Amino acid sequence: MALPDVEALIVHYLTGAVDGLYVCTVRPDGTAFTALLPLAQITRVGGPRTIPTWNGRYVAEDARVSVDVYATSREAANASVGTVRLALESLRGRVTQQGTVSRTWEETGPTARPEEPNTNVVRIGWTAGLTIRST
């Protein structure tokens, strides 16, 4: 039994839960990027497997993800950050096609993550965690 793909789980969930926000794992380039703003990029940054079975396999993990929200202004970025944070919290207890989320938390709160100078794009990011298991 394979452990769920946490990036796919979050992208799929946020795409349906947050209107007007493009959610991806790979940030588009050039004008495609700016045309899609506001945008949230989800990147797995680690997290150990947990809950071993008697035969040495694992059925859950505490996945860590970096969440980056991009927008054209600080106000728009903050509004999207608030919506995404609430949506991620609401994943707790949900059973999805990709897996079951039993716990969510934030390891770091949202903070400005500077973008390339003079891009007129604001980026705010944080690290979130989810305990997920196979369904």
Three-state secondary-structure class, residue 104: strand
Phi, psi (degrees; rounded to nearest 5) at 107: -90, -35
Residue 1 lies in a domain: no
Give me the CATH number covering residue 101: 3.30.2000.30
Residue 45 lies in a domain: yes
- pLDDT greater than 80 at residue 56: no
pLDDT at 97: 84
Residue 79 lies in a domain: yes
Phi, psi (degrees; rounded to nearest 5) at 114: -55, 140
What total number of domains does the chain contain? 1
- The domain in which residue 77 lies consists of 6-133
- pLDDT greater than 90 at residue 103: yes
> For residue 52, which amino acid is it?
P
Least confidently predicted of 32-36, 54-58, 86-90, 128-132: 54-58
CA atoms 14, 125, 75, 87: torsion sign: positive
If you search the block for the tokens 């990029």, which residue do you land on?
Answer: 41
Least confidently predicted of 16-20, 61-65, 86-90, 95-99: 95-99
Measured CA distances, 108 to 37, 46, 52, 94, 134 (Å): 23, 14, 27, 23, 26
Residue 22 lies in a domain: yes
What pTM was computed for the model? Answer: 0.91
The average confidence (pLDDT) of the chain is 91
Nearest to 123 by CA among 112, 132, 134, 109: 112
Share of the chain above pLDDT 90, in %: 73
Three-state secondary-structure class, residue 94: coil
The residue with greater pLDDT, 106 or 56, is: 106
Plot region of 11 (φ>0 → left; ψ -120 to 50 → alpha; else → beta): alpha
